[in-house]
Structure 1
Amino acid sequence: MRTRGGLLLANIVAGLALGYTVANIGFGDYAELNRMFTFQDLRMLGAFAGGVALVVVVFALIRVRRTPGRIHAGVIPGAVLFGGGWALSGGCPAIPIIQAASGYLPALVTIVGIVVGTRLCRWANAKYFHLDVGSCGR
């Protein structure tokens, strides 16, 4: 049986390894992200596509079957906000942490934006939308 401390340590090690890898291959660099979003350099887009292809193969091998269902009401607006924020700030929620740890201090503004956006999402959800809790992060 796994202990809570062992699981926490495993998550910390995996997170550090991911952060180190992402930073060293240049995916934490704002200019690199900008080149991907403007289709000037397809290297990062290819890496994402390769990751998706790998997951598809693994899911096929372990026989994961999903039945398509109704799209959750928060998916489309959430995807637009997430993609727009990523394009403007140069990072999804993990990248600004890597950027800040690498000394790129403007990433702190993005981190504040992520926190404020999550809080606003929770507030708007509670007041207006009443979607399930998972739609605004944890």
Structure 2
Amino acid sequence: MRYITYLSIGILFGIIMFKSEAASWFRIYEMFHFGSFHMYGLMGSAVVIGIIGVQIIKQKNIKTIDGEKMNLKPKDLSVRRYLFGGTIFGLGWALAGVCPGPMYVLAGAGYISILIVIVGALIGTFLYGLLKKKLPH
């Protein structure tokens, strides 16, 4: 039953991402050229909803679906970490025209060419796992 819940939430999220044009290359291109507020509004509202959600989880002491306590610890702040990671992420996003979440939305919508980007992202993730101990964190 739990997997049906996860699948249903994922499908709903994918539909919302596609219908809101968050997976649209044109909208992302438009955002990088400061041509429209659309994507900034989407991301800003996602951040606000995320902040509210985390605060509710902390205040109500909400547990996971397995009944375990959630550990929401703040990450270590590091300029180098966010500078390098953000640059790599941003370059990938600009080159592919899509960030990780919408990649799967586009695959589900039938855009087969996005599979090249997904394979590249998986290879990059694998390489990060191999090099993790040697990278500045």
AA aligned opposite 2:116: V
- Distance of aligned partners of 1:24 and 1:83 in 2 relative to their CA distance in 1, 3 Å threshold: same
Between 59-68 and 115-124, the greater mean CA deviation after superposition: 59-68
State how far apart, in whole Å, the 1-side matches of 2:125 and 2:76 are.
26
What are the residue-to-residue correspondences of 1:64-83 with 2, within 5 Å?
69-71=76-78, 74-83=81-90
1:84-113 per-position Cα deviation (integer Å, ceiling 9, x unaligned): 111211212121111122122221111011
Residue segments in structure 1 that go unaligned for 5+ positions in a row: 1-5, 132-138
State how far apart, in whole Å, the 2-side matches of 1:57 and 1:123 are.
35
- Secondary structure of the residue aligned to 1:80 is helix
- Which residue of structure 2 lines up, in the alignment, with residue 116 of structure 1? 123
Residue segments in structure 2 that go unaligned for 5+ positions in a row: 60-71
The higher-RCO structure (CA 8 Å, 6+ apart) is 2
State how far apart, in whole Å, the 1-side matches of 2:54 and 2:109 are.
34
State how far apart, in whole Å, the 2-side matches of 1:40 and 1:32 are.
9
Deviation at 1:129, TM superposition (A): 3.2
| RMSD, aligned α-carbons | 2.7
Instruction: State whether structure 2 residue 57 is matched by structure 1 residue 51.
Output: no
Task: Say how many residue pairs are matched.
Answer: 125
Deviation at 1:130, TM superposition (A): 8.2
- Distance of aligned partners of 1:37 and 1:130 in 2 relative to their CA distance in 1, 3 Å threshold: closer
